[in-house]
Amino acid sequence: MFKGSMVALITPMRSDGSVDEKAFSELVEWQISEGTEGLIPVGTTGESPTLSHAEHKRVVELCVETAKGRVPVIAGTGSNSTAEAIDFTRHARKAGADACLVVTPYYNKPTQEGMFLHFTAIADAVDLPIFIYNIPPRSVIDMSVETMARLARHRNIVGVKDATANLTRPLHTKRACGEDFIQLSGEDHTALAFNAAGGVGCISVTANVAPRLCAEMHRAWREGRLAEAMAIQDRLVPLHDALFAETSPGPVKYAASLLGKTSEHCRLPLAPAMPATKQKVREAMVSVGLLN
């Protein structure tokens, strides 16, 4: 159920900064029609840190309503407050999400035991599959393989979105957590290499603007068409580079604006992409074949 090309959805916004619900629903429809195999609303790419709680919950509801069960929805429900994460996760279950993505608590820097207790409390409180989101560059802390293995024993904790870009990590995670623990890459550049080390898919930023190519790459990999998968990977590298030339989601929102999917607006403290970054994004999209 949870595999292949999955997208960390941007949250389209109007130029005045309000959430563009119509554009979001249209983006979800386009993603499904292009072959995306899973939808992740209100993660970091969805600007969850600057959405109000009401906006956050509404975006999850819109995603579930629009998807209509055609592909799984993994709602972002993380917080550095355990009580707040439980509230978001309860809402995701009520809204009909298929799973939730819970980031390691940022800023307050819990210990490994603190992370274990945080995720256990959420998993005990809500009967919904949970993916741990381990992203040290954003949250400062790195969940150890040993802590993840302890959490993997909980029936509601089913997998990880690994954004460490450490390609030895999935090997050790598979040994510690078992073959059934679902490993998803959170780093576009290394998606295929991550799959080769035990992963089954990627929660992608690039898929926001190149969903068909990302989906075809993962499908080719699963079907053993390795040369084709690697050729697509090579084709996408300049786009991956451009979309992370500045803090995401600034560049990918600009890229989406070039496709007419949304404005490029991000909420402060994210600044508009710099002119040099915009040029790099546009050139990459032309080189990949997304723009003329």
Query: Cα–Cα distance between 247 and 243 in angstroms, integer?
Result: 9
φ and ψ of 15, to 5 deg? -65, -20
Cβ pair 12, 20 in contact under 8 A? yes
Give all strands (DSSP E) within 166-263, no chain letters.
182-185, 201-204
Q: Is 106 annotated in the active site?
A: no
Q: Is 40 marked as binding a ligand? A: no
45 in a known ligand binding site = yes
With CA atoms as reference, report the closest residue to 8 among 208, 254, 143, 287.
208
Strand order in the sheet with 4-8: 38-40, 4-8, 201-204, 182-185, 157-162, 130-134, 99-103, 74-76
DSSP class per residue in 93-106: HHHT-SEEEEEPPP
- Kind plus residue range of the DSSP H or E element containing 157: strand 157-162
Q: Are 203 and 6 in contact (CB under 8 A)?
A: yes
Which of 22, 68, 161, 174 is an active site residue?
Answer: 161
List 133, 261, 278, 280, catalytic entry: 133
Q: Could you confirm whether 161 is annotated as catalytic?
A: yes
Closest C-alpha among 86, 28, 16, 103 to residue 61: 28
- Residue 173 pairs in a beta bridge with none
Cβ-contact 145, 176 below 8 angstroms: yes
Chain-centroid distance of CA 233 in Å reads: 18
Could you list the active site residues?
133, 161
Which residue numbers belong to the known binding site for pyruvate? 45, 203
